[in-house]
Amino acid sequence: MYTIIPLLLAHIQELNKQILFLFKFIVKNIPLNLEKSKDDSLFSPKYNKLKVDKLPLIKVPEKKDYKQLLEIYLKEHDKPLKPIKSRGRNPVPDDVHCPCCNAPHNYIYDNTGGRGQFLCKVCDTHFNRQNYIDNPPELCCPHCGKALVIKKKRKLFNIHKCVNPNCSYYQSSLKALSKEQLEEYSSNPEKFKLHYIYREFKINFFKIDLYSLPKNASSLQFRKFSPHVMGLCLTYLVNCGLSTRKTRDVLREVHGIKISHTQIANYATTAAYCVKPFVDSYDYKPTNYLAADETYTKVKGSRRYVWFIMDAIKKSILGYRSSDSRDTTPCILAMRMAFDKFKKFPGKALKFVADGYTAYKLAQQQFALHGMHFDVTQVIGLTNEDDVSTEYRWLKQIIERLNRTFKFSYKVTNRLWL
């Protein structure tokens, strides 16, 4: 009975070796069928949802000149277009002018009785005091030039879609489908992403304050214990990596101090808040090699995502963020925080390495709209099969190791930090 177990184990190991051998054989000798898709994507169209498209073309409405328009009016009607006589309690302020034809305030109607919506008498443009251009520039498909249609309005973004059936993007995604996929597409079209889509973000990621503290940061007023006790708590908890409960036990048994594990947790939180401003404003002098990664961990039973952006050479963490969703917002904020550490943004000299997740590409688009252009290198494969992965894998591995360390110590210290 006892001799069979080592025998079976040896057998399993032998089988395992064979599987590995066969697996390597497949990887080396049987090429992936990539030629089929003409698009440069590594994914089947079924997974196009994970891919980011090119930015749309932006057609800015043509600028007009109100003087010319007034002349045309005079020729057509044989009388000039009269300015508006301001009556009522809300005359249009002197500095308001038409964003489209530049007509001065005496040609502008107040449409909403002082609430900021105006109408130009010369060119019929409606506009708003806050965002001077009421009709936003038209978004067009970069593949066929047709105007995009708003398909979904979400809280954080709108989805614009190219619905042109002759669009080259749509046609080539259709062609890339296999027979079975085509059948599935006709019955469940929502599972596929074959049309060009663009996500327009509504929040201004570039105005959100990065460094604000949560309002519940506790004070450092000691009633029951002294700073010395707090120091002991932090030493055991952080330096020795004990859990809050073990720290409590050590304090009681070694130091004779009775303190609850929640109080220890509170000390740790307070210390974290005190350290945060120093961590955030330190002059890191970052190199141009940044690696980004996201991971998730459980906080009080619910999933939270943690984003890190790290200087891969100096090993300093330049940007971080925790969030309850794995979308672009926290990603952009972490990236902004990291880029903030540069005295001068390196632009195209920056080596920004991330995994294949779309958020980084979407974030890159947002930065590009704000004049910050840089390349994102996505290391997708698990092994060094392509040149990109071979060149940049080491960067990725560094941050993945950081994430593992973080997750480990986070679990041990009873999830204090987020």
Positions in the binding site for Zn ion (CB under 5 A): 98, 100-101, 103, 120, 122-123, 125, 141, 143-144, 162, 164, 167, 196
Residue closer to Zn ion, measured from CB, 146 or 246? 146
CB 72 to Zn ion: min, Å: 13
Distant-in-sequence, close-in-space partners of 35: CB < 8 Å, separation ≥ 6: none
Instruction: Give the burial string for 189-226 (b: 16+ CB within 10 Å, else e).
Output: eeebbbbbbbbebeeebeeeeeeeeeeeeeeeeeeebe
CB 108 within 8 A of CB 120: yes
H helices, E strands: number in the chain: 10, 13
CB of 373 to Zn ion, least distance (A): 24
CB of 167 to Zn ion, least distance (A): 3
Q: Shortest distance, CB of residue 130 to Zn ion, whole angstroms? A: 18
Cβ proximity to Zn ion, 52 vs 292, nearer residue = 52
Shortest Å, Cβ 327 to Zn ion:
25
The least distance separating Zn ion from the CB of residue 333, rounded to whole angstroms, comes to: 32
Q: 200: helix, coil or strand?
A: strand
Question: Would you put residue 354 in left (φ > 0), alpha (ψ -120 to 50) or beta?
Answer: beta
Per-residue tokens: 327: 């979308």
Min. distance of Cβ 36 from Zn ion in angstroms? 22
Contacts of 75 (CB under 8 A, 6+ apart): none
Q: How far, rounded to the nearest angstrom, does the alpha carbon of residue 151 sit from its chain's CA centroid?
A: 21
Helix %, strand %, coil % for the chain, to 5? Answer: 40, 15, 45
- Beta carbon nearer to Zn ion, 109 or 394: 109
- Tracing tokens 């919506």 back to the chain, one arrives at 117
Residue environment code for 35-58, b if the CB has 16+ CB neighbours within 10 A, otherwise e: eebeeeeeebbbebeeebbeebbe
Q: Give the dihedral sign, CA 17/19/21/23.
A: negative
Phi then psi for 258, rounded to 5 degrees?
-95, 110
The Cα-based distances of 130 to 41, 99, 111, 134 in angstroms read 41, 12, 14, 9
| Angstrom distance (rounded) from CA 150 to CA 110 | 29
CB of 147 to Zn ion, least distance (A): 10
Q: For Zn ion, give the closer residue by CB, 37 or 173.
A: 173
Shortest CB 162 distance to Zn ion, Å: 3
- Cα–Cα distance, 206 to 332 (Å, whole number): 9
In this complex, which beta carbon is closest to Zn ion, that of residue 122 or of residue 379? 122
Burial of 343 (0-12, 13-18, 19+ CB in 10 A): exposed
Say which DSSP state 238 is in: I
Q: How far is the CB of 89 from Zn ion (least distance, A)?
A: 24
Of 122 and 271, CB closest to Zn ion: 122
Bridge partners of residue 295, in order along the sequence: 306
Q: Which is nearer to Zn ion, 196 or 320 (CB)?
A: 196
